[in-house]
Amino acid sequence: MYGHTSVLIMGEAKRRKNLGIPPREKNEDIKLPQLDKKAIQQKVRSTLYKYPIIPFLFYGAAIVILIGGLFYVFKSFNVA
């Protein structure tokens, strides 16, 4: 029984070699897309220049979430 366990645990490369199959081809075609930081930065700046209210809305939403979280903590722990 112990002689057959090496066949079961054998890696793919060794199994292919024992079966006489050539090694598996490696795909090196996969490349990550390159990010153009200057173009992204230009788009963000143009959007902010077009809609200057966006930062105020963002910070306002953050403050509302912070106050809501504090209210939830005070209510759940009965601190007040």
pLDDT tens profile 28-47: 777 888 889 999 999 999 99
**The pLDDT value given to residue 51:** 95
Is 48 part of a structural domain of the chain? Answer: yes
How far apart CA 58 and CA 2 sit, in angstroms, is 65
Output the pTM of the full model.
0.46
For the chain, what is the radius of gyration of the CA atoms?
30
In a domain? residue 22: no
Task: Read off the pLDDT of each residue in 3-26 and give the average, rounded to a whole number.
Answer: 77
Q: Tokens 């809609």 sit at which residue?
A: 51
In a domain, 52, yes or no: yes
Establish if 24 belongs to a structural domain.
no
Q: What is the mean pLDDT of the chain?
A: 85
**With the CA atoms of 43, 48, 51 and 54 taken in that order, what torsion angle do they form, in degrees rounded to the nearest 10?**
120
**Structural domain total, the chain:** 1
The boundaries of the domain holding residue 62 are: 33-80
* Predicted pLDDT of residue 1: 45
Determine the pLDDT at residue 27: 74
